[in-house]
Amino acid sequence: MRIYISLKHNTNIVNRTGVCYIACLLLSLMTASVLAREYPMPLVLAVHQDNEISSLDKKDVIDIYMGRYSTFPNGQIAKPVDFPTNSIERTTFYQALVGKTERKINAYWSRLLFSGRATPPLEASSKQAVIDLLGESTLIYIHKGDITKEMKIVYQL
């Protein structure tokens, strides 16, 4: 038994739909290409080479960057440094670390500041400022390709 199904297509609709799909595909590829150039390497967390910490786990990083702890696991003071507000690094960092947008992170810190329970990470003005702020007790996140000989990677997102 054969069954024949006849489909009548309006060729204008099919052509327009196809063009829309192609345009969306090209736009996605261009956006991905721009982001790949803008954000080529994964983010890593680093400390100064002289810091005694050799590695951190995700919970340690969350506790330090979200103000729960002000020390590294060994008891040494930890001073986290943030990239500027609305930077791709900062947005990506918090999304990867805690799955929250920068807007939600800012609201979180507003509540903590109001209650006086914690202090947010120091906000640097640029990538170079993040690098310049690196000291024995600071914790920074940075592109893996920007690591210098003075830095030691302690966690990779």
- Please count the other Cβ atoms lying within 10 Å of the Cβ belonging to residue 129: 14
- How many angstroms separate the CA atoms of 26 and 99, rounded? 28
Q: Give the closest residue to 98 by CA, choosing from 69, 61, 138.
A: 61
Q: Which of 67, 63, 157 is nearest to 108 (CA)?
A: 67
Give the per-residue pLDDT at 114. 84
User: Is this model's pTM higher than 0.75 or not?
Assistant: no
Instruction: Give residue-wise pLDDT tens across range 81-124.
Output: 999 999 999 999 999 999 999 999 999 999 988 888 889 999 99
Whether the Cβ atoms of residue 84 and residue 108 lie closer than 8 Å to each other = no
**Residue-by-residue pLDDT tens, the chain, 157 positions:** 555 555 555 555 555 665 555 655 555 545 444 444 455 679 999 999 999 999 999 999 999 999 999 999 999 999 999 999 999 999 999 999 999 999 999 999 999 888 888 899 999 999 999 999 999 999 999 999 999 999 999 999 9
**59, β-bridge pairs:** none
pLDDT at 31: 46
> Residue 106: phi, psi to the nearest 5?
-65, -40
- 94: phi then psi, degrees, rounded to nearest 5: -70, -35
Q: What is the pLDDT of residue 38?
A: 53
- For residue 123, the model assigns a pLDDT of 96
Structure tokens at 27: 């736009």
Cα angle for residues 74, 79, 143 (degrees, 5° grid) = 100
The residue assigned the tokens 């006849």 is: 6
> Rounded to a whole number, what is the largest CA-CA distance in the chain?
80
